[in-house]
Structure 1
Amino acid sequence: MANHPPLAAVLLLHGGREAGTGPPPFGPLNLPAVRMRPFRQAVTKATLPAGVLVRSVRYTCRGWNGPREDPLHDAVRALDALRHEAGDVPVVLVGHSMGGRAALRAAGHPLVRAVVGLAPWCPPEDPVEQLGDRDVVLLHGSHDRVTSPRSSRALVGRARGAGARTCLVTVEGGDHAMLRRAPLWHELTAALVTGLLGRNALPDAVSAALRLPPDADSAQGAFGMDALPRPYAVARTEARS
């Protein structure tokens, strides 16, 4: 059977630290990377029949490191490598915590169609212009004590004003490590990725949020995960070219 070129790609970015110039730990000692494994498995399972590449970013350092922004540069290099491997395919970035910040910052890369941020780190001073004409869906646990759900809400409002299509889903009882209600985190993330790539229908509430006008209030397009009926994506559509 002939190998067909990939139609799209997903790039996963795990979390890290605010500062740390040493390399990330190897293997199971790298807990932020371990946390992303079930997300990779869920996304791979959901996208495998559709010819979608799933890759993960490898960081040179374990921290953001202020103006160095090391994970951002790692993300851009990974996107350039994807382009070399697969051509100009649409890419969805899926990032947790520090990886969410890197994904949002790298979204201006020409391959990027959408960002799914999992408990993302969203400093108020970070730019949002690079998110224009992108889909941005953030998931944040209500009990997160590491990154701020309020900052995620503010980010979707600022990004919408900059021309992004945005949505915020609150995971009631969810924590930063995404261990509480873990299967729901995994299932919804996979549904969002396939929906944003046009392989399945997005949940109605998410689609409605992404259609809001740029001047919509930040509270609009924000709702709880429990407001979404399961299964999150049930209607398969024709794959986009």
Structure 2
Amino acid sequence: MAQRLPSAAVLVLHGGRETGAVPPPPGPLNLPGVRMLPFVRAVRRAAGAPDGDVLVRRVRYAHRGWNGGRADPLHDAVTALDALREEAGDVPVVLLGHSMGARAALRAAGHPLVRGVVGLAPWCPPGDPVTQLAGRDVVLLHGNRDRTTSPQATQSLTARARRAGARTCMVTVRGGDHAMIRRAPAWHRLTAGLVAGLLGTRSLPGPVDEALRLPPTAEATLGTLDLDRLGARPHGGPAPAGRR
């Protein structure tokens, strides 16, 4: 019997440092990687990954840092996408990244497999390109108490990307910090629902779906939502027929 190929995939990219030429430490010593494990488990449950229909993989970094123009994690992400294409074919992929990993996910989103990006406390320098996000769904979550990466820069990127042809939305987590420790269950639930929603296996929260449909000229504030106003259910049942 031929092996059944997955219908979709999620690639998870943990955070890192601005500079760092050595590889990340292994296993539990890699704290940014450990931080993403609850998200991996939540995404697997929400997307139906235990049945083998959705692959959930973690991107391995060759270097600990972004390292300026080298943009090392970006190349690791593209390598992982190419390897996934060899393994599973042209499956739709959602990239899920935190901090530096979110920056790499946004930069790698021009890859043909990528359908969307979910970025957690993303690192969004003002000069980073956005044209590669055209035609993609991009949802960025940021805590308003983050002192490591800028919520304002995230909001600016969502507006720039929308003007470039992306469908974008930002969700503010009130009381949320960069490590996503405060209100951790809310981070996990919403992220899992967003990933499943972008893959089409569940419905997106209504306000998120509406924000993704805003016109390119919409103000940044119109595409910025409050987690606590998304409703009691962060994700629902099967996605409605015909959605993108």
Q: What range is the shorter-chain TM-score in? A: over 0.9
Shift of 1:4: 2.1
Match of 2:27 in 1: 27
- Structure 2 CA distance for aligned equivalents of residues 189 and 133 of structure 1: 21
The superposition leaves residues 128-179 of structure 1 with CA deviations (integer Å, 9 ceiling, x where unpaired) of 0000000000000010000000000000000000000000000000000000
The TM-score with structure 2 as length reference comes to 0.96
- Structure 1 CA distance for aligned equivalents of residues 226 and 46 of structure 2: 23
Match of 2:139 in 1: 137
Match of 1:8 in 2: 8
Match of 2:206 in 1: 204
- Structure 1 CA distance for aligned equivalents of residues 88 and 128 of structure 2: 30
Unpaired runs of at least 5, structure 2: none
Q: Secondary structure at the match of 2:222?
A: coil
CA contact (8 A) 1:96 1:119 kept: yes
Match of 2:129 in 1: 127
Task: Report which stretch shifted further, 49-58 or 62-71.
Answer: 49-58
- Structure 2 CA distance for aligned equivalents of residues 33 and 169 of structure 1: 23
What does residue range 189-200 of structure 1 map to in structure 2 within 5 Å? 189-200=191-202
Q: Secondary structure at the match of 2:11?
A: strand
- Structure 1 CA distance for aligned equivalents of residues 176 and 3 of structure 2: 41
1:41 is the counterpart of 2:41: yes
Match of 2:170 in 1: 168
- Structure 1 CA distance for aligned equivalents of residues 241 and 5 of structure 2: 14
Unpaired runs of at least 5, structure 1: none
Match of 2:103 in 1: 101
Aligned partner of 2:120: which letter?
A: L
| C-alpha RMSD of the superposition | 1.6
Number of residue pairs matched by the alignment: 241
Aligned partner of 1:129: which letter?
A: T
User: Structure 1 segments of 4 or more deviating over 3 A?
Assistant: 237-240
CA contact (8 A) 1:199 1:238 kept: no
Q: Which of 75, 78, 81 pairs up with 1:76?
A: 78
CA contact (8 A) 2:13 2:98 kept: yes
Percent identity (aligned): 67
Shift of 1:235: 2.3
CA contact (8 A) 1:92 1:115 kept: yes
Distance 1:122 1:152, change over 3 A: same
Shift of 1:56: 0.5
CA contact (8 A) 2:203 2:240 kept: no
- Structure 2 CA distance for aligned equivalents of residues 54 and 172 of structure 1: 28
Shift of 1:238: 6.9
Q: Secondary structure at the match of 2:232?
A: coil
- Structure 1 CA distance for aligned equivalents of residues 233 and 35 of structure 2: 23
- Structure 1 CA distance for aligned equivalents of residues 192 and 241 of structure 2: 16
